[in-house]
Amino acid sequence: GAGVSQSPRYKVAKRGQDVALRCDPISGHVSLFWYQQALGQGPEFLTYFQNEAQLDKSGLPSDRFFAERPEGSVSTLKIQRTQQEDSAVYLCASSFSREETQYFGPGTRLLVL
């Protein structure tokens, strides 16, 4: 795989359900970022990992949002007790190091009913 992959591509959840979104970064990329993109808006930063360490989670909108990257590769963004305002596209990006350009995956479109 040459690029960042994300799964699922689409997710429909009932309000109150928990969801887990997966990101597979480019092999060898140390840095991994999650962004939230609401309809008609630009992406907004959620959180940043360097290897397995979560160095910045200042953008997570509430304590219902949780991200992990236990082995420094694949990352999962978990949203507990989903609300309608969580409906958005969730984008993952990775870079070789913190000094390098971020490359984005196709995103997961989450719809909470």
Partner 1 sequence: AQSVTQPDIHITVSEGASLELRCNYSYGATPYLFWYVQSPGQGLQLLLKYFSGDTLVQGIKGFEAEFKRSQSSFNLRKPSVHWSDAAEYFCAVGTAQGGADGLTFGKGTHLIIQP
Residue ranges binding partner 1 (CB under 8 A) = 4, 31, 33, 35, 40-45, 48, 56, 59, 91, 93, 95, 97-107
CA angle 44, 57, 37 (to 5 degrees): 20
**Which residue's CB is nearer to partner 1, number 4 or number 19?**
4
**Which residue's CB is nearer to partner 1, number 17 or number 95?**
95
- Provide the minimum distance between the beta carbon of 16 and partner 1 in the complex, in angstroms, as a whole number: 28
Distance of CA 71 to the CA centre of its chain: 16
**Which residue's CB is nearer to partner 1, number 48 or number 65?**
48
- Provide the minimum distance between the beta carbon of 51 and partner 1 in the complex, in angstroms, as a whole number: 13
Could you tell me where the beta strands, DSSP code E, fall in 1-107?
A: 5-7, 10-13, 19-24, 31-37, 44-50, 53-56, 65-68, 75-79, 88-95, 103-104
